[in-house]
Chain A
Amino acid sequence: MELIKDINKKVLDWLDERYDARQWIRENLTEKLVHKHINWLYCFGGLSFLGFLLQIGTGIFLMMYYIPTPKDALASVQNIANNVPFGWLFQRLHSIGANVVNLLVMFHMLRVLYHGAYKKPREFQWVSGVFLLLITMAMSFTGYLLPWTQLSYWGATIGTEMPGATPIIGEWLVQLIRGSAQITGITLTRFYAIHAVVLPLTLIAFLGIHFLMIRKVGISGPM
């Protein structure tokens, strides 16, 4: 016990000397001042972020066994869920967690809406938040195709059909998203790349803006 304390102190001293670590921790974590009216409703943003981190973690684990080809996709997901030790846990955490994250994001948005927290000076907080919502939903949509089940396939068919209603470029847009006239293996690998690389990076960029702005402006005051 004493040894841990000692090591802890030495590490913090070392960091203090270079980066003012203790002061940074005091200002940003332990003695950070927030409004008195803060309550549990204000947790949804943070919980959404926590959910996102969990999705990243479980997603990386799933990538280690998932095979993004029409022939192997379903079998590899079934292998994860049935054979790989604790695969069921990570697979379900990821698929159920996706729904939970969507719910949390919606609750967060409703809270902000109800409290009018989107008003000046937090307009861009709202705008970046709407982008985050859209990216979260795009994540869910692209992830839904990956197990390559009947539901995935027809869900993706319907979802990618919708941009077809766009005037003039509609048909072209549909085929751009699909990478082919119908949903094929090309769509699968395309969605996989978007789901696992493009959207997470975009999401992190928007999260960065979202967080930096709220640090600068502060959480909204009482109603």
Chain B
Amino acid sequence: MSISIKTGKNASDSKRGFLKLLFLSVMAASFGGVVYPIIRYLSPVSQQQAAEKIEILKDELPPGKAKFFTYKGNPAVVIHTKSGFTALSAVCTHLGCIVKWLEDKNELQCPCHAGRFDAAGRVISGPPPNPLPQIAVTESGVKIVIG
């Protein structure tokens, strides 16, 4: 036998050390075997990567109207303005509430602290520190493609 794991001064100590190591490894493996599935089970639902481009029919969105959808797991809005279609993140840059579209005022308003944004996402008034991030929009035939 030429196994030499030296953790102690003599043979019996090294045998004990080895067994201890073995025991702890088995314990660690068992612990991991229990904890790993639990962490995987509880981890957030993976955001849909496949639907990175979202298509909306132009007919669904007459001028002045807005449509909300989920883009990369977060709420977003596309607005039919006078100058065309604008897609924005619908998450307020202040504290993360979801903005709503006020058609008569032609602006987006956050219900939490009354932050106001124009149809291009620029801050009009209220506490939001930054404009709403823009999302690319392209028109193709009867559809608009977002993303």
Question: Which A residues contact B (CB, under 8 angstroms)?
Answer: 61, 64, 84-87, 89-90
Contacts and interface: CB of A to CB of B under 8 A. Distances in A.
Interface residues of B, number: 6
Q: Is the interface of B mostly helix, strand, loop or mixed?
A: helix
Contacts of A84: 41
Given A61-B38, A86-B40, A86-B41, 15 more contacts: A61-B41, A61-B42, A64-B42, A84-B41, A85-B37, A85-B40, A85-B41, A85-B43, A86-B37, A86-B38, A87-B41, A89-B37, A89-B41, A90-B37, A90-B41
A25 to B, nearest CB: 20
5 contacts: A64-B42, A85-B43, A86-B41, A89-B37, A90-B41
A7 B42 CA distance: 31
Contacts of B41: 61, 84-87, 89-90
A102 to B, nearest CB: 24
The 8 closest A-B pairs by CB, nearest first: A86-B37, A85-B40, A86-B41, A86-B40, A89-B37, A85-B41, A61-B41, A84-B41
Contacts of B42: 61, 64
Contacts of A89: 37, 41
B4 to A, nearest CB: 20
Contacts of A87: 41
